[in-house]
Structure 1
Amino acid sequence: MSTSQPAVIRRPQDVVDLVNSHPAKRGGTGVALIALGGVLIDAYQAAMVGFGNSYIADEYDISTGAAAAVNATVLVAALVGGLMARPLIERLGQRRAFLLGMGLCTVAAAAVAFAPSIWFVLLCRVVMGIGLGIDFPLATSAVVELSGSKSSKSGRSVNLWQMGWYISTTVVYLVLLPLHQATSVESDLWRYGIFVGAAFAALVMVLRYVFIGESALWAARRQRYDEAVRILRERYGVHAVVAHDAVGAAPGSERPRVRGAYRVMFNRTYRRRTVLGCVVATMQAWQYNAVGIYLPVTLGGVLSGGLAGSLGGSALVNAAFGITGGLLGSLWVQRHGARKLSMAGFAVVAASLLVLGALGSGAPWVALFLLGLIIFGHAAGPGGLGMTIATLSYPPSIRPAGVGFARAIMRTGAIAGLVLWPMLWDALGTDAFFWLALVPATGLITCLIIRWEPIGQPVDDEDADVLRQITVTERAT
């Protein structure tokens, strides 16, 4: 604040209001992508194991469906991790929970690169999934806090995770191409690639430790007002003081215990928001994990050129359509809204899948363009917006729970795409595109029915009322 009069902190909502109206001094796209680093690692590892699925099956003498099921355990574990996220964040705080989540990802990724058996792969994927599940609610909440929820940039910043996702998947194929040239053992490429991903995860941990600190909102909810004041001063440039009569500031006062966040998410106020966020997130995950994760496999079925051709085509599609779509989606969301942009994206994906099914493999370059159009419609539309809707639909006190729950439910769609698509592709070939079109159609219909638009809504003003519903003060024993 530029005035000489400091802001006075009497309750957690005072800190919420100050953070909402004062974006961080050191913010911007770079810091947002650092906060979203777990998403980048999730994207990298998902694309890498999608590429390695058939090699894993051959090496351990299992079917491709069984290999996909093992790889999908990361999604089941992430579902559990997402549900664990809120209580862990409340107990540990943002900084330590960030280290825990990304630390699990780093260790598991490094270990799976040396996996001696499929059971070891399974264990590592479970550990990685729990870490990713913990990380994502933290990441999106941190982005909103750093940008200020009342800022016009908040929805844009949260939705940047989709552009980051495609940057990361493009990096996968750019890593694999030189590795493919450097080694004659093609079946080991997935191991090398996953180990490189572990190094990326370690880098994310370091960058976060330097650029992303503790949450001022968490400190205030824990009645650590002196710490909240310090964060406000250092990160936001806000001069604030703690009032002598601040809630919980008196010696011996009891710290609130937060309960009932999930119950509030399904009350009359938040039920529609929860359903919309979960359905959009789940349907986009289903369609992406079918087409996007197995893009080299799909391209191999419609293009010639061997492994190098499919890797190069995958890199081209992700860079030209995915990164561009993610960037444009983050720019368009403030103008058009998350719901309408999701509808448009689902419509593009559904139409492209139907045309792909009709063309089959008879027009490879048209098929390549249509696959790119699917990636573009997904990235610019619902790909990132399910989580954007979940993040911007709830006030800070239940935001990690809302994002964690939506992310957990979303994993069911990811599992369906990851496990079912190889089976459909093997059984039906390009006719499988017809069946997959039902997924974006379901997302489109849901957006037509539920007319909640989170962009521009002052949801953080609801925090004090929500806190009254979910906070139980522990009685002295």
Structure 2
Amino acid sequence: MSTTTVGTPSLIRCPQDVVDLVNTHPARHSGLLVTLIALGGILIDAYQAATIGFGNKYIAAEFGISPGFAATINASVLVAALIGGLLANRVINAFGQRRAFVIGMGLCTLGAGAVAFASDLWMLLACRIIMGLGLGIDFPLATSAVAELRGASSKHSGTSVNLWQMGWYLSTTVVFLVLLPLHTAEVPDPQLWRMTILIGAGFGALVMLLRWVFIGESAMWAARTNRFDESCRILRDRYGVAAELAPDIQAARPDTVRIRGAYGVLFQPPYRRRTMLGCVVATMQAWQYNAVGVYLPLTLAGILAGGLSNALWGSAAVNALCGITGGAIGSLVVRRFGARRQSMVGFGLVVLALLTLGWIGKSNPWFALSLLGAIIFFHSSGPGGLGMTIATLSYPPSIRPAGVGFARAIMRSGAIAGLIFWPIVWQALGTDAFYWLALVPAVGFLTCALIDWEPIGAPVDAEDAAVLARVRQENVA
């Protein structure tokens, strides 16, 4: 049972008072387990992405299409997620955090379960679109919820938000650990992706249940919708703040509740530079990951001998030893180095590793495997998670879902490029394709070098009232 902090009550006169209290009082229970539950939709996103990357060639063979066209069909989930990301701000403002979580993950779970039984390309396409809409809605909610649990101005918030990258590789490792016993049990290879994605739908249902119990509603959203009694209850129960309503409480304006015009604010000073940095970092990291990370079994099969078993074992080892470790280390050190600088260093090291990998080629398979691991490590500890961390911590709460949703939507363009073009370029050029891929992190490196904005520890929540006033003026205009 939760208890209330004893002391002088904090009086709530307006929504900004709730924002300030949340910003300065981390939730009682905001440790690693609760953070991963909040980020659960991102874990499901990673699981399904890795499953589809593995199954791409089997999907192509089953439906009689080229691997490139199969990748295009699979990329429909990213196009739908782009749309879902742009809808996330509207969904959370209409339904609140708790029900929006159910909507997003419910669509994903429904679509994933149906994908496992898709009998033709049209059904596969429709199910992937449903999944994508759910995943697109879920991501901004997840990172915003984590920022609210820790307080956005705290440097610990950057650590917590960036844990989604460690969770991503934890989830992709689970995919290969699910595939291995299925393969050992002599499940036909063409059916492996269907069984694995169906198991992922079960994981999605579990995430919905855990979130409903442990995450709950947003105190900030409740205040913006004039549910101040609910805000005070959440502040007492979740944050240990003795909050009471002031006699002269000011109700939120209806036009600020809708947050129309939020996307326009993202491209006005001082947010324009923040938006550009977050979007470019997120997009370039997604491009490099969806080329190397998603298709890791395909790449390893072309480098290592031993067939599917060795490719799966190699993929699991690279994700566990390099991805999870890199994500954990990146989250721990981001408070010291900052999100921008850490992203820049990560991009630069990935460029060097890709160029070396293109030069080595197949001449030394184990060294090539080590370089692939290095790419995953530098990606995971560097820009892999920090694009979304930058987007999450660059905006005050009222426009945070819009900022994260927009960055995530733009990021999907990079993911689509990697997902569609890498099988084509790999088939045409082999290991020489790594030379061309090195251009992607090079763009990310230059962007980080040119835009000097550091969100870690920045008091952006204090800007909330001013942003709401700006949005109100735009709505009137």
TM class by smaller structure: over 0.9
Structure 1 residue 258, shift from structure 2 partner: 2.0
> What SS does the corresponding residue of 2:52 show, helix, strand or coil?
helix
Do structure 1's residue 33 and structure 2's residue 32 form an aligned pair? no
Cα distance in 1 between the residues matched to 2:475 and 2:175: 49
1:241 correspondence with 2:255: no
Q: 1:143, 1:336 → 2: CA distance?
A: 21
Instruction: Give, in angstroms, the shift of residue 248 of structure 1.
Output: 1.4
Q: Which amino acid aligns with 2:335?
A: Q
Q: Report what 1:226 is aligned to.
A: 229
Contact kept? 1:257, 1:472, Cα under 8 Å = no
| Local SS of the residue matching 1:204 | helix
CA contact (8 A) 2:88 2:405 kept: yes
Note if 1:305 corresponds to 2:306.
yes
CA distance in 2 between partners of 1:256 and 1:60 (Å) = 47
Q: CA deviation at 1:268?
A: 1.6
1:67 aligns with 2:70: yes
Gap regions ≥5 residues in structure 2: none
- Judging changes above 3 Å, is the alpha-carbon distance between structure 1 residues 100 and 439 closer, same or farther for their aligned structure 2 residues? same
Q: 1:215 to 1:429 in 2, by over 3 A?
A: same
Cα distance change of structure 1 residues 36 and 256 upon mapping to structure 2, 3 Å threshold? closer
Aligned-partner residue type, residue 150 of structure 1: S
Equivalent position SS for 2:398: coil
**Corresponding residue SS for 1:471:** helix
Q: 1:206 — aligned with what? A: 209
1:73 is aligned with what amino acid? S
Deviation per residue, 1:247-294 (Å, 9 max, x gap): 118xx9998442111111101210000000000000000000000000
1:130 partner letter: L
Q: How many aligned positions are there?
A: 473
1:255–1:474 contact (8 Å) kept in structure 2: no
Q: Distance in 1 between matches of 2:257 and 2:86?
A: 21
Q: Residue 215 in 1 paired to residue 218 in 2?
A: yes
Matches of 2:5 and 2:421 in 1, distance apart?
57
Tell me the residue number matched to 1:179.
182
- Aligned partner of 1:444: which letter? F
Counterpart residue number, 1:82: 85
Structure 1 residue corresponding to 2:168, chosen from 155, 165, 168? 165
Quickly say closer, same or farther: Cα 1:253–1:139, change in 2 above 3 A: closer
Pairing 1:37-436 to 2, within 5 Å after superposition: 37-248=40-251, 256-436=257-437
Q: Which runs of 5+ in 1 are unaligned?
A: none
Alignment deviations for residues 97-122 of structure 1 (CA, whole Å, 9 cap, x no partner)? 00000000111111100111111111
Partner of 1:9: 12
Preserved contact between residue 258 and residue 472 of structure 1 (Cα < 8 Å): no
Contact 1:256 1:472 in 2 (8 A): no
CA distance in 2, matches of 1:348, 1:403: 26
1:377-424: per-residue Cα shift (whole Å, max 9, x none)? 000000000000000000001000000000000000000000000000
Q: CA shift at 1:2, angstroms?
A: 4.2
Letter of the 1:64 partner, please give it: P
Amino acid at match of 2:175: V
What residue in structure 1 maps to residue 444 of structure 2?
443
Where 2:429 maps in the other structure, the secondary structure is helix
C-alpha displacement of 1:243 = 1.2
Contact 2:275–2:407 (8 Å) recurs in 1: yes
Q: Distance in 1 between matches of 2:116 and 2:107?
A: 15
Runs of 4+ with >6 A deviation? 252-255, 472-475
User: Quick check: 1:147–1:154 contact (8 Å CA) kept in 2?
Assistant: yes
CA deviations on 1:33-55 (whole Å, 9 max, x unpaired) are 10000100000000000000000
C-alpha spacing 1:361/1:26, structure 2 compared with 1 (3 Å): same
Please list the CA deviations of residues 418-453 of structure 1 after superposition, one character each: whole Å capped at 9, or x if unmatched. Answer: 000000000000000000000000000000000111
Deviation at 1:148, TM superposition (A): 1.3
Question: Do 2:111 and 2:130's aligned partners in 1 also have CA atoms closer than 8 Å?
Answer: yes
Q: CA deviation at 1:471?
A: 3.1
1:367–1:92 CA distance, 2 compared to 1 (3 A): same
Aligned residue in 1 for 2:469: 468
Query: Does structure 2 conserve the Cα–Cα contact (< 8 Å) formed by 1:101 and 1:131?
Result: yes
| Matches of 2:435 and 2:57, distance apart in 1 | 24
Contact 1:257–1:471 (CA under 8 A) maintained in structure 2? no
Give the TM-score, by structure 1 length.
0.97
- Asked whether the 8 Å contact 2:351–2:441 carries over to 1, the reply is yes
Residues 52-101 of structure 1, C-alpha deviations (whole Å, 9 max, x = no match)? 00000000001100100000000000000000110111000000000000
The CA distance in 2 between the partners of 1:293 and 1:165, in whole Å, is 11
Distance between the aligned counterparts of 2:449 and 2:180, measured in 1? Answer: 42
Code of the residue aligned with 2:86 in structure 1: it is L
Aligned equivalents of 1:333, 1:255: Cα separation in 2: 33
SS in structure 1 opposite 2:11? strand
CA contact (8 A) 2:18 2:219 kept: yes
Distance 2:51 2:251 in 1: 49
**Matched-pair identity in %:** 66
User: Do 2:81 and 2:132's aligned partners in 1 also have CA atoms closer than 8 Å?
Assistant: yes
1:77·1:127 contact (CA, 8 Å) conserved in 2?
A: yes
